[in-house]
Chains A and B, each alone.
Chain A
Amino acid sequence: MSGSAKSLLFIAVLCGVCSLLLTAASSGLKPYQERNILIDRHRNVLLAAGLIEPGSRLKEAEVEVLYAERIRELRVDPEGRILEGADAARPDGLPFYLIQEGGEIRGYIVPIDSRGLWGPIQAYLAIDRDGQTVKGFAVTRHAETPGLGGEIEKEWFRRNWVGKKIATREGTFVSVGIAKGKVEEQVPEPKRPHYVDGISGATMTGKFLSAGIRDSLSRYEPVSIRFRRNQIAEWEQRLPPARP
């Protein structure tokens, strides 16, 4: 066999062996990884809702109990009506979460699906019962540059969001954007409730995430309007707390 044929054969066999190994590892470990991702997602929903402290080392079981008690996963149709039973599987249904305490609804959480600079960004934005004040924000998945765009998952950036408004006082939707720099220096006074401090060196990440948040929030606007007009008493009656 000639030299190059031997090289080709060797590399083909090696690649075959390596792929087999990786496939085996990947499919064998998948259940564990998926469970970790689910817990992490729940942790981030709770973090956005302000129900756990950042950096708290709650055990898996504790996270699950808290999540089951306080968060309710629902789907709504594009007009903001809750989908139940067979309807819940409708393809145009939008997933969202209610924050409950006892029989009361304390707010809701909108999942944010955004484009990032290097890959998709997934986050949660929790909004108060008034339908316009941000309760919290948490990023659950991103591929931004550590130290630059990656700062979106950091505590200082998360805290940035609390108390911002997604709508004007009159109830017109405006979303919350990421400023280029400090809000106090870059944004005129009346618009400040609708902006958070940006990350220096991550202008593109900020731009994409601002657009992503605007898109996601505008899709959930019917739900937000319902909250703004305080028309959720009916939901509270129909949706008793997950646990007595």
Chain B
Amino acid sequence: MNGAAARPWAVVRRTAAYKEIVKALWRANPISKQILGVCSSLAVTVQLETALVMSLALTGVTAGSSLAVSLLRRTIPRNIRIIVQVAVIATLVILADELLKAFLFDVSKQLSVFVGLIITNCIVLGRSEAYALNHPPGPAFLDGLANGLGYSSVLMGVAFFRELLGSGKLFGASVIPEAFYRAGYVNNGLLVLAPGAFIMIGLFVWLEHALLEKK
């Protein structure tokens, strides 16, 4: 007890929540380790703003659907469990889309179909089927949240480099000084295009694998 008070971090590190989050962020990151959800991460990472909104939407949907499925897990008939999960996920995605249209209209226009396509994102159904169906609501919610954050971390990382190197901006504000451009610096147009995102995600995957192997 005494030791725990002296080192609160060590206690946090032993909790299930901490382990789940670390696992989803790093050892089993949905994008860079499991290569899931790549389609949307190619599409929405041209700017940090769209990537952030997409991250929030996906994290909300994953956490919410895991929680809902976990609460229903004892009553869901096994033979129609996938239909039930998809119905829950689809409802949450439409809710997220409606909220964006009401309060973040410009971003929702840029995200266009990709918010709706969260329904088909393997991360959401994957977590709900693999984890939430057999775990109590608390851990299931955390698992969804953690995986959403794992997705978000890579999305934000990719968007950071794409916006910085592709358009010289961060969150829409220019950060590369005018003097650089006068000295001959040019934004890298490739990073604005989808192939640039592919290369960027590839680099993230490589980085993570290399670092994990070292351990």
Tell me whether A29 is interfacial, beta carbon within 8 Å.
yes
Q: Kindly identify which residue among B75, B87, B109, B113 contacts A18, using a CB–CB cutoff of 8 Å.
A: B87
Q: Does B99 contact A (CB under 8 A)?
A: yes
Residues of A within 8 A of B88 (CB): 14, 18
A231 within 8 Å of B by Cβ? no
B113 touches A146 (CB 8 A): yes
Report chain A residues within 8 Å CB of B95: 21-22, 25
Is A200 at the interface (CB under 8 A from chain B)?
A: no
Are A7 and B80 interface neighbours, CB within 8 A? yes
Number of A-B contacts (CB under 8 A): 57
Question: Least Cβ distance of B35 to chain A in Å?
Answer: 22
Closest to B97 in A: A25
Which chain A residues (1-52) contact chain B, with CB distance < 8 Å? 3-4, 6-7, 10-11, 14-15, 18, 21-22, 25-26, 29, 32-33, 36-37, 39-40
With A14-B87, A40-B109, A146-B112 in contact, is A25–B98 under 8 Å at CB? Answer: yes
B90 CB, min distance to chain A CBs, angstroms: 8
Determine chain B's interface SS by DSSP, over half rule: helix
**Does residue A150 face the partner (Cβ distance < 8 Å to B)?**
yes
Write the B60-104 contact mask toward A (1 if CB under 8 angstroms, else 0). 000000000000000111011001100110110011001101110
Question: Are A32 and B112 interface neighbours, CB within 8 A?
Answer: no
Taking a contact as CB atoms under 8 Å apart, the answer to whether A29 and B77 are in contact is no
What bracket does the count of chain B residues touching chain A fall in? 20 to 34
Once A14-B87, A22-B94 are accepted as A-B contacts, the answer to whether A33 and B102 lie under 8 Å apart by CB is: yes
Evaluate whether A10 and B103 lie within 8 angstroms (CB atoms) in the complex, with A18-B88, A22-B95, A25-B95 already known.
no
B79 and A36 contact, CB distance less than 8 A:
no
Verify if B176 is at the interface (C-beta below 8 Å from A): no
B87 contacts A15, C-beta separation under 8 Å: yes
Sorted nearest first, the 6 A-B pairs with minimum C-beta distance are A32-B102, A36-B105, A29-B102, A18-B91, A7-B77, A7-B80
A residues with a Cβ closer than 8 A to B are 3-4, 6-7, 10-11, 14-15, 18, 21-22, 25-26, 29, 32-33, 36-37, 39-40, 146-147, 150
Given A3-B79, A146-B113, 17 extra CB contacts under 8 A: A3-B77, A7-B80, A10-B75, A10-B80, A11-B87, A14-B84, A18-B91, A25-B95, A26-B98, A29-B99, A29-B101, A29-B102, A32-B103, A33-B98, A36-B102, A40-B105, A146-B43
30 residue pairs bridging A and B, Cβ less than 8 Å apart: A3-B77, A3-B79, A6-B77, A10-B77, A10-B80, A10-B84, A11-B80, A11-B84, A11-B87, A14-B88, A18-B90, A18-B91, A21-B91, A21-B95, A22-B98, A25-B98, A26-B98, A29-B99, A29-B101, A29-B102, A32-B103, A33-B101, A33-B102, A33-B105, A36-B101, A36-B105, A146-B43, A146-B113, A147-B194, A150-B112
